[in-house]
Structure 1
Amino acid sequence: MADLNHPKRLAAIDGVATSRLPDPQLDALINGVAAVASTPIALVSIVRESVQFFRAYVGLFGDLSESRVTASCDSFCQFVVKGEAPFLVSDAAADARVPQALVARYGIRAYAGVPLMYQGQIIGSVCAIDVKPREFSELQIEAMRGLSGYIAQRLESLRLESLRLEGLQQGVDAAPPDLETTP
């Protein structure tokens, strides 16, 4: 079972661009997850020891769409990370494995999550959520795995872009104040 506090895992999470700004490519990918899973809700969840952060999502409502965080101990995504494998729940209200806080508060009934691998570490989950009990097919899970790989690639692109912009800003900050620019 994976340790949520493993230093390599935490370093990988720290390397991810965790900006709250929307990213059209991540949004398109997570919409693809919802489409292949036929669910109203899908998330890219980054799981730390105490909280999980939703980097991209479709279908969240209420306070979750504003805060984009929940306690990890209440999450289903923690089981994807800890188990290092897909985690499936067909009826959360009747499943003793899952915390009931989100079931009661948001009506979550079905869940399918696949690992989000980044820099060799499982940093979270790409998941599909339904408000009614249901099964997920192997084909849906395999499609979600494929999309998870593209999501990881996009997170890496965002990280590299952030580093590039940071480097440019450092160059601007280091320029002499009397440097004249020409139009």
Structure 2
Amino acid sequence: MKDIPAIDLKGDAHMHDGQLGDAERLKALARTGVMDGPGPGAHQRAARIAARLLDVPVSLVSFVDDTRQYFSAHVGLEGDVARESGSGLSHSLCQYVVKSQEPLIVTDAPKDPRVCNNGAVRDLGVVAYLGVPIRSPDGHVLGSFCVIDRKPRDWCEDDVEHMLDMAAMIESDIRLRETLEERDIILQEMSHRVRNLFTIINSMLRMERRTHDTADALAESMGARLKSLSDAHEMIVPVVNARRSTGTTTTLDALTRKLLAPHGAENETHITISGEHVPIGAKAAVYLTLALHELATNAAKYGGLSADGGRLSISWRQTDDDIVEVSWEETGFERKTNAEPRTGFGARLLSIAIEGQLAGQIKTQAGPDRFQRKLRIPLQRLQS
């Protein structure tokens, strides 16, 4: 049998605060939606096949957050743990697979000092256990695909290989589900943009009519604004096309200025844009455009672009560890009490675009007359 790395399961509390609670891993887990309800049929089929193929009474597709494990599929469970499709971490061996990011092989759990004190051994009759990691598309270990026997068992190399192959099938299902969700998000964004178009045009009209004395001058200026708006919208191309494209397509400065042009980006008393040269690749341009367009639309509806004295400042810098930090700050406006909160679809879109696709981070600060988003995105992902 191939050498399996030893797994240190000591110091559970320390490890719980580490890998299980890792913010990026938990975000990747949340994006799958697997903790929210019954899993897809593919997971249940994998559990049934594993139980038959390895001749075991119990098989689980288990996903682990920082407080519990949830079974998207299970075979052979009984009692509360079956009705609840999961348990707390006190009764979880799958958490150790997540912590170690390696397969866990247990021949005789009551005699194994690594796991003998776990509640699953004491209360649920787990004797032999074989679990392999289930990974997200970006490599985070989300849980364990495992089989359990009620008697001691020496797992063989074929057993491990079978489990790894079936775990890869579960990972493919997760990847497909995320791809389909991305497609739905893009379609929702297109609908969202059409609805917001009237709000944006109304905002531009309010700005323009204060600076022009004749209808002809207003029409000419508005025509230029609408052309800029059209140019910006053309930058959002279908994701499938972006995935076939390679190489740098634009820069962060050019992308930002084009997207903000309909809102008066050339007027530096209203909008300021500054930052060093950052090349943007084809795929990154799609998701960054979606994110910046969403921020600009919200600013025009509720924030710094919705008021006469409002201001928007966008700046960025590259850190020594090749992270691009983008600051989006709106000031000089009064938050409307009936304004829609900047959550829901827009927040979900930002999360998928920045955190999911660009492996970035988003931090938000809001006040009665100030709104700020801080984006941190790896330079390598921006150039993809």
- TM-score range for the pair, normalised by the shorter chain length: 0.7 to 0.9
Q: How does 1:1-183 map to 2 (within 5 A)?
A: 3-18=19-34, 19-98=36-115, 99-118=117-136, 119-162=138-181
Q: Which runs of 5+ in 2 are unaligned?
A: 1-14, 196-384
Give the secondary-structure state (helix, strand or coil) at the position aligned to 2:19: coil
Paired with 1:165 and 1:105, the residues of 2 have a C-alpha distance of 43
- Per-residue CA deviation, residues 91-145 of structure 1 (Å, 9 max, x unaligned), is 1111121133122222111100001111211111110011111111111101101
Distance 2:38 2:184 in 1: 15
Q: 1:78 offset after TM fit, Å?
A: 1.3
Q: 1:53 deviation in Å?
A: 0.8
Amino acid at match of 2:128: A
Task: Kindly provide the amino acid, as one letter, of the partner of residue 88 in structure 2.
Answer: A
CA RMSD in angstroms comes to 2.3
Displacement of 1:85 in angstroms is 0.7
TM-score by length of 1: 0.83
In structure 1, list runs of 5 or more residues that go unmatched: 176-183
Give the drift of 1:75.
1.1
2:333 matched residue in structure 1: none
Q: Secondary structure at the match of 1:53?
A: strand
1:168 positional shift = 7.0
Give me the whole-angstrom Cα distance separating, in 1, the residues matched to 2:91 and 2:78.
17
Contact 2:131–2:146 (8 Å) recurs in 1: yes
Count of residues in Structure 1 that have an aligned counterpart in Structure 2: 174
Provide, for residues 27-85 of structure 1, a one-character-per-residue CA deviation record: whole Å limited to 9, x for no partner.
Answer: 11121222232211111111112111111111111111111121224311111111111
